[in-house]
Structure 1
């Protein structure tokens, strides 16, 4: 049996160890995905019919289709969860880039066509055994900034983008940057 002296240091550290494993705090970084974080905005979506149904939200109504690659019909004018995730992550990351640039004193291009984020979301794994995940390939193109400034903006955006924070450690996101 361990002596009381040997156990006391671990006992003093236990709350911090358990908190970090629960996603509450790690290396001085605050996690905002807890019930106690202030809510800035809430989005709601109702899905009916899974991958071949439809999605309804406060400002959204879109049909869903199973992609041809997964054995579905891939109906034109409809979408799928991976495409929706790619769009959401891309828009969020680009907004995080704009906010990050401003905080770094870097001026982003003012025309939308001069800053582009393209995401490809890959459904990966084994459908037969229901062992699947996603991987994201993100391509960032910016006109009018030098490579060093683009890299600074992207690095900071990775730290502040809610999608990047939510997927960190669970979804591989490969980011390629190019000047236009």
Structure 2
């Protein structure tokens, strides 16, 4: 009896939600079975105050002063590395998707900038932490509407954006220069 009562309400709710939904094309890739395009490896010793070695990477790490560490000059931390990787990957995604949208990206590297901010948020005391990301995309010589189209499409294809979607609160702001 209860299913007869709720079925019409459920159908109505689905019709309303489908009318208000924005159709976003979604690609699904099975990362377990997809062909490997590149492999990066890092050898980490000493956690946040240690050292990282990779094929083309040698980085000393420090605990930032904001988290109670020494914040040693010339050393970095995981959040800075993540910000660098996300920003570079996102900008590459923008360059890759622009032609499919009929948009030409600037040819001078200084005319397209992605400023990425990664924040470690939560509680260290309770060991309940996460990340929050802000991307500021600045492009010279492009209409704001075109830039926003490129950024939206880049969010759909950038591996960092896809990996963090639903897990990391991310905002993207666009500015024309």
Using the size of structure 1 for normalisation, the TM-score is 0.83
CA contact (8 A) 2:83 2:116 kept: yes
Q: What is the SS of the residue equivalent to 1:91?
A: helix
- Provide, for residues 140-174 of structure 1, a one-character-per-residue CA deviation record: whole Å limited to 9, x for no partner: 10000001100000000000000000000000111
Q: What is the SS of the residue equivalent to 2:104?
A: coil
Instruction: Tell me the equivalent position of 2:148.
Output: 151
Structure 1 residues 167 and 33, CA gap change in structure 2 (3 angstroms): farther
Structure 1 range deviating more: 64-73 or 29-38? 29-38
Instruction: Tell me the equivalent position of 1:176.
Output: 173
Task: Within 5 Å, give how 1:95-174 maps onto structure 2.
Answer: 95-174=92-171
What is the CA distance between 1:29 and its match in structure 2?
A: 3.7
Distance of 1:48 and 1:93 partners within structure 2 = 29
Distance of 2:123 and 2:69 partners within structure 1 = 17
Task: Within 5 Å, give how 1:62-73 maps onto structure 2.
Answer: 62-73=59-70
Question: Number of residues paired by the alignment?
Answer: 155
Q: What is the SS of the residue equivalent to 2:131?
A: strand
Using the size of structure 2 for normalisation, the TM-score is 0.84
CA RMSD of aligned residues (A): 1.5
Distance of 1:77 and 1:128 partners within structure 2 = 28
